[in-house]
Amino acid sequence: MGFFSPGSSKSRYVGIWYAISSGTVVWVANRDTPLKDHSGVLTVTDEGVLTLLNSTNHVVWSTNTSRTAEINPVAQLLDTGNLVVKDRNVDDPERLLWQSFDYPCDTLLPEMKLGRNLKTGLDRFISSWKSTEDPARGDFSLRLDPRGLPQIVLMKGNTIKGRVGSWNGRRFTGYPGSSWNPVFEYEFVMNRNEVYLEYKLVNTSVFSRTIMNPSGVAQRFMWVDRTRSWELYAASVADACQNYAFCGAYATCDGDKSPACACLEGFLPKSPKDWKSIDWSDGCVRRTPLVCNIGDGFLKYTWLNLPDTSSSWFNATLSLDECEGLCLKNCSCTAYSNLDIRGKGSGCLLWFGKLSDIAVYSQGGQELYIKMARSELENYGKKRNTGKIKRAGIMAGAAVLVSGILTLGVISYIRKKKSTFKGIAKRRLEKDCENEGLKEHIELSIIDLIAIANATNNFSSNNKLGEGGFGPVYKGTLPEGQVIAVKRLSMNSGQGHKEFINEVKLIAKLQHRNLVKLLGCCTEENEKILIYEYMPNKNLESFIFDQTKSKLLDWRKRIDIIGGIAKGLLYLHEDSRLRVIHRDLKASNILLDMNMNPKISDFGLARSFRGDQIMSKTHRIVGTYGYMSPEYAVHGQYSVKSDVFSFGVLVLEILSGKKNRGFCHPDHHLNLLGHAWRLWIVDRAMELIDESVGDAHTRSEVLRLIQVGLLCVQQRPEDRPNMSSVVLMLSSEILLPIPRQPGFYSDLLVADSTSSNNAAYSANGISISTFEAR
């Protein structure tokens, strides 16, 4: 504990920080009233008041206590990080005169309470700093909302931005994975005197802290001794469904589906026109109004984040059956659920009025019973019965068929046939590869088409993750539980047999932590399917160009992603058996795993060099607008330096949060590369940085990364560094060369008179007759 000045600020504060990480301040006394010079005295008065005085002995900040000290008061900093004022030799925590844990700043520490003292009205919550250099109270806070069943909410000013939810005995309803953790455990206390949440460390040798950063993202960090640094463990905003009431009333939000919002059964969009234009804020309304006490019933939903509980009522002693009866009798009641889900469940939770902020989870959600009109329940029952009848018919037919097969002994034939199909598929793939001179590269699993169809629910649109040049990609789950990504060649795809073989050849034996892993393939019935490891955070493009999700990518995470991409490219260019040129490196082809580690994907357009070959040329120019190097776009020449150019574009996009292609600025018509170059040459490069990054970086660190990006996008390939140099530039403080003007810098259409293609290119896009670009 002591005086400090955050970052480059000249203001001085009294704060508490970790001994292992002196820059990690967890509490500030005078956060709104800084000292303006190097004088200042912190003292304890005879009454037990902690007071901060400035150079003129005026009180800058002081504590407020409800009682006066009896015996020589002292201030003591405890190992928990709690600063306490107490009577000397009195250790009873109930007799403290004052403690900092009652007045948190932006950090929630283990054993610190988040919640309210219902007797005194004391509200303990964490609130963001204004910026990384100004600890004054910012716009965002994480607090406990005591209305109805108390719940933890994320707020901006007086507006709820997101919900952690209420405690159901095992976890918070808004975070289904929060029920167990080997490092810490939650305790939620609710009685007549107070209601609060706290978490305690199971292993006291571990350090953990939860902060509300200046951008409004709640983040939990764990200290890692191996790296001597804080690593992000969890964050509050992962997808659109965690934005409060994203889909409006009486609708569910499912981040794994597109569109994410859907009305509950028996409800219709309140504003159909807005709903079709992807504005779901008005939510849904009942198709059939309720008629109180005349035939109303309940429809059961599972795997849900329970609705906002601010207008709810609860009782811990009632059973679920009693809960249903109460809701039926009350005309204003709209839904009910268990209060506590431990064991067989207990307690009663009722909702009154609209149901808002409901999310669907693939696991860990909760059951909710929603009141419905009798006619709606009958219609729903008919639909279910129709489905059951169909399934029963299918099952009966299948039983007869199986019986016949057993009688005729055809099971062995089926097995043999299946094995034959699998063998044919494998031989077909091997033959394809042999014709291409690639047979020695094939060591992949051949997966049955039926197994893939079952895993993806017959390639259901609900399982669709996205679509690229090769075709659609689906999420699937194999019988053993492994989650996979299935890339299926589209009949309308510009890519085909050659790209399929190419991807199999190049990625089958490439093993690197920053390359996506290919698990298997399928070539049955003219299908061409590739099976990859599943990446739960999808791709980089979905984060850096999204206003909400980009806040998850703080400065350190963006640096890690840039470094990971660089290492993956270095492996392709220099460390793998073949020198591989990706040729389509872009944000959508950088996938992110559970821990946000980047993995390069999509090798359908890649090419390999052998021996000392360093460059090649093609008349079939393929790739993506905005990422192509000038020599490739205009002359068809590609090399490792083509990928370096694409990497440089990625670096500038990651830093700025803006796309190179389609970038616009009110002062000029340059693309992102031209804009970055303009800022660089007038010493205003800091303006390039995405606002959502916050201020957790130094000027020198930012300028170094921008300089590396500009070095990679220089016009002439020979001026660009190779990836081994780039990795060194990113991981050390070596002196960097001065960058020259980037390629595709001009904001006018420029004809290259030396181009054999007579092609033209511009700042915001490329127009070449031989393109197959996307």
- More confident call, 362 vs 547: 547
Model confidence at 220, pLDDT cuts 50, 70, 90, reads: confident
Q: Which residues contact 542 (CB under 8 A, 6 or more apart)?
A: 549
Q: Which residues contact 125 (CB under 8 A, 6 or more apart)?
A: 104, 114, 141, 142, 143, 144
The Cα–Cα gap between 107 and 419 comes to 60
Which range among 62-71, 258-267, 614-623 shows the weakest confidence by mean pLDDT? 614-623
For domain 539-774, the CATH architecture is Orthogonal Bundle (1.10)
- More confident call, 473 vs 183: 473
- More confident call, 414 vs 427: 427
The token duo for 274 is 């807005």
What Å distances lie between residue 102 and 57, 196, 250, CA to CA?
A: 27, 12, 38
* H or E element in which residue 476 lies: strand 472-477
pLDDT at 122 exceeding the cut of 90: yes
**Homologous superfamily of 410-534:** Phosphorylase Kinase; domain 1 (3.30.200.20)
pLDDT at 86 exceeding the cut of 80: yes
Which letter, b or e, does each residue of 84-111 get, where b requires 16 or more Cβ atoms within 10 Å of its Cβ? bbbbeeeeeeeebbbbbbbbbbbbbbbe
Q: What is the mean pLDDT of residues 91-109?
A: 92
pLDDT at 182 exceeding the cut of 90: no
DSSP string, 412-443: HHHHHHHHHHHHHHHHHHHHHHHHTT-GGG--
The Cα–Cα gap between 334 and 369 comes to 9
Its sign, for the CA torsion 61, 67, 71, 75, is negative
Which range among 12-26, 270-284, 515-529 shows the weakest confidence by mean pLDDT? 515-529
Cis previous bond, 259, omega within 30: yes
Angle at 254 between CA 248 and CA 258, to 5 degrees: 100
Q: What are phi and psi of 620, to 5 degrees?
A: -105, 90
Q: Name the DSSP class of 685.
A: G
pLDDT at 110 exceeding the cut of 70: yes
pLDDT at 558 exceeding the cut of 90: yes
Which range among 308-322, 358-372, 421-435, 564-578 shows the weakest confidence by mean pLDDT? 421-435
The Cα–Cα gap between 179 and 189 comes to 16
Q: What is the mean pLDDT of residues 2-25?
A: 93
Most confident of 419-433, 584-598, 611-625: 584-598
Please tell me the predicted confidence (pLDDT) of residue 610: 64
Please give the CATH number for the structural domain made up of 1-103.
2.90.10.10
Report yes or no: 251 and 262 within 8 Å, Cβ to Cβ. yes
Q: What is the mean pLDDT of residues 57-62?
A: 94
Please tell me the predicted confidence (pLDDT) of residue 16: 98
**Could you tell me the residue ranges of all domains in the chain?**
1-103, 111-238, 242-372, 410-534, 539-774
Q: Name the DSSP class of 264.
A: P
pLDDT at 386 exceeding the cut of 60: no
Side-by-side strand order, sheet with 766-767: 750-751, 760-761, 766-767
The secondary structure of 614-659, three-state, reads CEEECCCEEECCCCCCHHHHHHCEEEHHHHHHHHHHHHHHHHHCCC
Q: What is the mean pLDDT of residues 177-201?
A: 80
Burial of 393 (C-beta count, 10 Å sphere; 0-12/13-18/19+): exposed
pLDDT at 514 exceeding the cut of 80: yes
pLDDT at 143 exceeding the cut of 60: yes
Q: What are phi and psi of 233, to 5 degrees?
A: -105, -35
Please tell me the predicted confidence (pLDDT) of residue 336: 97
Please tell me the predicted confidence (pLDDT) of residue 611: 53
Which of 239, 308, 554, 584 is flagged as catalytic?
A: 584
- Whole-number percent of the chain with pLDDT over 70: 83
Count Cβ atoms below 10 Å from residue 432 Cβ, excluding itself: 19
pLDDT at 429 exceeding the cut of 70: no
Q: What is the mean pLDDT of residues 56-64?
A: 93
Which range among 392-401, 465-474, 574-583 shows the weakest confidence by mean pLDDT? 392-401
Q: Where are the alpha helices (DSSP H) in 436-493?
A: 449-455
* H or E element in which residue 407 lies: helix 374-408
Q: What is the mean pLDDT of residues 558-564?
A: 94
Tens-digit pLDDT profile for residues 324-346: 999 998 888 999 999 999 877 78
Please tell me the predicted confidence (pLDDT) of residue 190: 93
Q: What is the mean pLDDT of residues 758-773?
A: 32
pLDDT at 109 exceeding the cut of 90: yes
Q: What is the mean pLDDT of residues 39-61?
A: 93
pLDDT at 612 exceeding the cut of 60: no
Closest to 305 measured CA to CA, from 245, 376, 265, 352: 245
Taking all residues of the chain, what is their mean pLDDT, rounded to a whole number? 82
pLDDT at 530 exceeding the cut of 50: yes
The Cα–Cα gap between 299 and 265 comes to 8
Which range among 114-123, 572-581, 603-612 shows the weakest confidence by mean pLDDT? 603-612
Model confidence at 115, pLDDT cuts 50, 70, 90, reads: very high
pLDDT at 441 exceeding the cut of 50: no
Known active-site residue 690: no
The token duo for 592 is 């992110």
Please tell me the predicted confidence (pLDDT) of residue 51: 95
Please tell me the predicted confidence (pLDDT) of residue 119: 87
pLDDT at 420 exceeding the cut of 80: no
pLDDT at 433 exceeding the cut of 80: no
Tens-digit pLDDT profile for residues 705-762: 999 999 999 999 999 999 999 998 998 888 899 999 998 765 433 333 333 333 332 2
* H or E element in which residue 222 lies: strand 218-224
Q: What is the mean pLDDT of residues 12-29?
A: 94
Q: What is the mean pLDDT of residues 45-49?
A: 91
The Cα–Cα gap between 615 and 643 comes to 12
Model confidence at 283, pLDDT cuts 50, 70, 90, reads: very high
Angle at 60 between CA 55 and CA 62, to 5 degrees: 130
